[in-house]
A and B are shown apart, each in its own frame.
Chain A
Amino acid sequence: MDLLPVVIFLQSILAATWRMATPILYAAVGEIFSERAGVLNIGLEGVMLIGAFAGYSVAYESGNLILGLLAAIASGILSGLIFSFFTITVKANQIVVGAAYNMIGMGITGVLYRVFYAESGRALSLKTFAPIEIPFLSQIPFLGEVLFKHNIMVYATLLLVPLATFVLYKTAFGLSIRSVGEHPKAADTVGINVNRTRYFAVIIATTLAAIGGAFLVLAYADQFVEGIVTGRGFIALAVVVFGGWSPWGAMGASLLFGIFYALQLRLQAMGNIMIPYQFLQALPYVVTVLVLIGLTKRRVQAPKALGVPYK
């Protein structure tokens, strides 16, 4: 049998995997901070949309991707402030605020996009972050294509995950976050400002989610469209749980999701398998559930104070 098609098949899937995983991973790593601090944000979808729009519009107007990214970050911070204000200061139910934020994200980006772009008749695409071919490494057969021909925002996840792990486990701030989500009263009694810590954690979360959203327009597709996030915020929420609230776990979970998403696209493109394409589409979701079941031994508990406003 000829091996070459199989290798190309695998290479094609694996090269797509990391890209597909990246936006989810950004949002999930962020959400880990928030959930570890006890705040559940199901509004990630909205945050990502706003990030995508902010990133797009500034990058488009200024012609500068970095400015776009900064704008996305700013939008993430703003989203975080709003979300925190309602969930931490006002102590409103986190899930409701999250649901509302999804609607707000959909609404505000839709309106702004229509007012400023859709009806302008301008050419709307921008130049995305180009793939960087790592010298020599990218020439390695197979691996080169899979690992060393991505753009900067994809590579950045290699920095993001260890960095997030470091902050969570090796800094005083990370320690505060983990305590505040587990036993906020205990943290309070040693002088940690629970609410302020949560504010910061939420802002980290929304900022990273916004970057994940911006990734879609600055480093993946090259244009904003309404609803571009397409459920990635929800997948990120699942990835956080699936990855056991750890950044490396989230990386594994989002790569797993990415690989099966890429696989299903590839299988559809092969066209000669007799499985209805809807079953292929469902594949990444079914696999996630199956793997989750397979991981029964590893009973990672959610942070105890998750979803509970303090005082």
Chain B
Amino acid sequence: MEDIIIRMVNIVKSFPGVQANRGVNLEVRRGEIHCLLGENGAGKTVLMSILYGLYKPDAGEIYYNGEKVEIRNPKDAINRRIGMVHQHFMLVPTITVAENIILGQYPSWKVLNDMPAVYEKIEKLSKDFDLDVDPSALVQDLSVGEQQRVEILKALYHGADLLILDEPTAVLTPQESEHLLGFLRQLADRGLTIVFITHKLEEVMQVSDRVTILRDGKAIATLNTKDTNPRELARLMVGRDVLMDLKKKEGQPGNVVFSVRNLRVTDERGLLAVKGVSLEVREREIVGIAGVSGNGQSELALALAGLIDCEFDEITLNSTPITKKDFARLNHMGMAHIPEDRQKMGLILPFSVSENFIAETYRDEPFSKRGFLQFRTINDYSKSLVEKFSIRCGDVEEEIANLSGGNQQKVVVARELDRRPKFLLVNQPTRGIDIGATEFVRQQILAERDAGAAILLISTDLEEIFALSDRILVMFEGKIMGEVPPDYSLIEQVGLMMAGKSAVHA
């Protein structure tokens, strides 16, 4: 009765200097939701890319519906009704949703004269699956959540029996994630098979039938979900026990380090995205900003980083008033930030690890003397950070682009924290990183607080907000809806505030 849709046997795949898969075995049953778990860099994405025809394995076999197959390219995969939603979305931003969905579906000479029919089909599909998508919108105008729905719709439109989703929830709000998980269940019930990669153990527990754990390029176990628990999964993944709940000391807020009054920010489209936000952050305090993404948090962060224009009545840092001109100097005035999107904002990809470590301090002593970079000092410093933050990389001279996402994030965190900032702006610090790294990053942020920093934490992950914050501000449509203490019993209420309901008590 075991109906195996996919069997991957002894898959080996190396890249120059890295063995991503070292003989992976994987079996997926028809109609199940199968989770893939593993630390950053364990080889999950590579394995699935092989299944989707993006990479050719160095060795190993793939059986699809019991038949040995060779999937040479994505076209092959699509023809075999395999669909994939990639970790980094594979949508062309400058064309419409519908165009993205039909991309590659027609022979070149085809005149696209049946777009109305395509629209209709998309609308029908999206109604069917309760995915709200406008086929005529440009992808670049969509939110991350919407883009993901387009990706899923694309796979369904192409006709998928097997749907692979690579960390789909990493970029979603809790509500969106919730919705997605329900939706996946619904798909599975209709007979689709789903392979689901995630770092969030609750999601694994909640939605999957079985789970396979990858470590160091090998599948080390496949378990029935109902026979396991998060603690065991975490241990299998990381190879040690992971603290599931951070032990957070009571905060002892001191003087106000950073304050802003009536901040107004206009977004790219010319709309007011932050509508008069006032807040202050004290020494030894973490202020969390909760909210569904798209409610002005990104703009708030970008404005404070000096990347987009803003207006305000007053901003002070260490009781020094800040003018707009000063933003470029905030780096030097004791402010650090961990940006939302590490690749776009935090890192310079073709640069080496060590060059990225000095991105903000490269012109300060001792890294630079009389304008000359001091390579030995920089390398020594980088090595110490790599060690301290246990970043996995070949060498500090290695291009940072070769590191896995989690390790890239660690580089950013290490760089920012090591500057011992007085004020730290943290935006989505653990997005897409594995639980070991997450634990580590959160501990570092707490340690920084305890050492005296004032920290403003922006996250769409409520769990994270509650775990770290001393005070929680809820943001909705560019405004602060109210403040709540980090008391798990109030989680419901925060959820309501995030949806726009005013605070009952603040």
A183 CB to closest chain B CB, in angstroms?
5
Contact A191 B74, beta carbon cutoff 8 Å: yes
- Are A190 and B104 in contact, CB atoms less than 8 angstroms apart? yes
- List A residues 161-204 near B (Cβ within 8 Å): 170-173, 175-176, 178-179, 182-183, 185-192, 200
Q: Name the residue on A nearest B75 (C-beta).
A: A191
Q: Is the CB of B104 within 8 A of A187?
A: yes
Say which residue of B73, B78, B92 sits within 8 Å of A183 (CB atoms). Answer: B92
Most buried by A among B89, B103, B107: B103
Between A and B, how many residue pairs show CB distances below 8 Å? 79
By a CB distance below 8 angstroms, the chain B residues around A175 are 95, 99, 102-103, 112
Q: Are B103 and A179 in contact (CB under 8 A)?
A: yes
Most buried by A among B104, B112, B154: B104
Contacts of A179 in B (CB 8 A): 92, 95, 103
CA distance A179 to B92 in the complex (A): 6
Question: Is A172 a contact of B113 with CB atoms below 8 Å?
Answer: no
Interface size for B (C-beta < 8 A) is: 31
Q: Is the CB of B54 within 8 A of A189?
A: yes
Q: How far is the CB of A245 from chain B (nearest CB, A)?
A: 10
Contact A182 B78 (CB under 8 A): no
CB distance from A116 to the nearest CB of B (A): 39
Residue from A171, A178, A183 whose CB has the most chain B CB atoms within 10 Å: A183
**Majority secondary structure, B binding face:** loop
Judge whether B90 and A173 touch: CB under 8 Å.
no
Closest chain B residue, CB of each to CB of A174: B112
In the bound complex, residues from chain A placing their C-beta under 8 Å from that of B99 are: 175
A189 touches B84 (CB 8 A): yes
Chain A residues positioned under 8 Å from B100 (CB to CB): 186
Most chain A CB inside 10 Å of its own CB: which residue of B92, B99, B113: B92
Q: What is the chain B residue whose CB lies nearest that of A192?
A: B104
- Over the window 102-134 of chain B, the binary record of Cβ atoms lying under 8 Å from chain A Cβ atoms (1 yes, 0 no) is 111111111111000000000000000000000
* B52 adjacent to chain A (CB < 8 Å): yes
Which residues of A lie under 8 Å from residue B66 when comparing CB positions?
none
Whether B91 is near chain A, meaning CB under 8 Å from some CB there, is: yes
B111 x A191 contact (CB < 8 A): no
Bound CA–CA A188/B75 (angstroms): 9
Q: Which of A195-253 contact B (CB under 8 A)?
A: 200
Q: Quick check: A176 and B108 within 8 Å, CB to CB?
A: yes
Contact: B90 with A171, CB < 8 Å? no
Would you call B74 and A189 a contact (CB within 8 A)?
Answer: yes
CB of B90 within 8 A of CB of A172, answer no
Query: Is B109 within 8 A of A183, CB to CB?
Result: no
With a cutoff of 8 Å between Cβ atoms, the chain A residues found around residue B106 in the complex are 172
Kindly report which residue of chain B lies nearest to residue A190, judged by CB atoms.
B104
Collect the chain B residues with CB atoms within 8 Å of residue A178's CB: 92, 94-95
Q: Which of A179, A186, A301 has the most CB of B within 10 A?
A: A186
Asked if residues A186 and B110 are in contact (CB atoms below 8 Å), the reply is no
Tell me which residues across on chain A come within 8 A of B158, comparing CB atoms.
190
Across the interface, do B112 and A170 meet the contact criterion of CB distance under 8 Å? yes
Which residues of the partner chain B approach A186 to less than 8 Å between Cβ atoms? 89-92, 100, 103
In angstroms, Cα B94 to Cα A82, docked, is 30
- The proximity string for B residues 397-421 relative to A, scoring 1 for CB distances below 8 Å and 0 otherwise, is 0000000000000000000000000
Is A183 a contact partner of B91 (Cβ separation < 8 A)? yes
Do residues A176 and B103 form an inter-chain contact, with CB atoms below 8 A? Answer: yes
Let me know if B95 and A171 touch, CB within 8 A: no
**In the complex, are the beta carbons of A182 and B54 less than 8 A apart?**
no
> A196 to nearest B CB, angstroms?
9
Which residue, A179, A185, A187, has most C-beta atoms of chain B within 10 A?
A: A179
Interface residue B86 (Cβ < 8 Å from any Cβ of A): yes
Cα distance A9–B217 in the bound complex, in angstroms: 77
Question: Are A190 and B74 in contact (CB-based, < 8 A)?
Answer: yes
Kindly state the separation between the CA atoms of A188 and B73 in the bound complex, as whole angstroms.
Answer: 8
Q: How far is the CB of B207 from chain A (nearest CB, A)?
A: 24
Partner of B108, one of A173, A182, A188: A173
Q: In the assembly, what is the distance between CA of A266 and CA of B93, in Å?
A: 46
Cα(A137)–Cα(B317), bound, Å: 73
Residue of A nearest to B77 (CB): A191
A200 nearest in chain B by CB position? B108
Question: Which residues does chain B contribute within 8 Å of A172, judged by CB atoms?
Answer: 102, 105-112
Which A-chain residue is minimally distant from B73 (CB atoms)? A191
Also in contact, A170 and B111, with CB within 8 A (given A175-B99, A188-B54, A190-B74)? yes
Closest to B76 in A: A191
Could you tell me if A191 and B78 are in contact, using CB atoms closer than 8 angstroms?
yes
Across the interface, name the chain A residue whose C-beta is closest to B99.
Answer: A175
Interface pair B93/A183, CB less than 8 Å apart: yes
In the assembly, what is the distance between CA of A182 and CA of B105, in Å? 18
Task: Tell whether, in the assembled complex, residue A187 and residue B103 are in contact, meaning their CB atoms are under 8 Å apart.
Answer: yes
**In the complex, which residues of chain A have a beta carbon less than 8 angstroms from the beta carbon of B105?**
172, 190
Q: List 14 A-B contacts (CB under 8 A).
A: A170-B112, A171-B111, A172-B105, A172-B106, A175-B95, A175-B103, A179-B92, A182-B92, A189-B90, A190-B74, A190-B103, A190-B105, A191-B104, A301-B94
Given contacts A171-B112, A189-B86, 7 further A-B contacts (CB under 8 A): A170-B111, A171-B111, A172-B109, A178-B94, A182-B92, A189-B84, A190-B154
Q: Which residues of B contact A (CB under 8 A)?
A: 52, 54, 73-75, 78, 84, 86, 89-95, 99-100, 102-113, 154, 158
Residues on A lying within 8 angstroms of B by beta carbon are 170-173, 175-176, 178-179, 182-183, 185-192, 200, 301
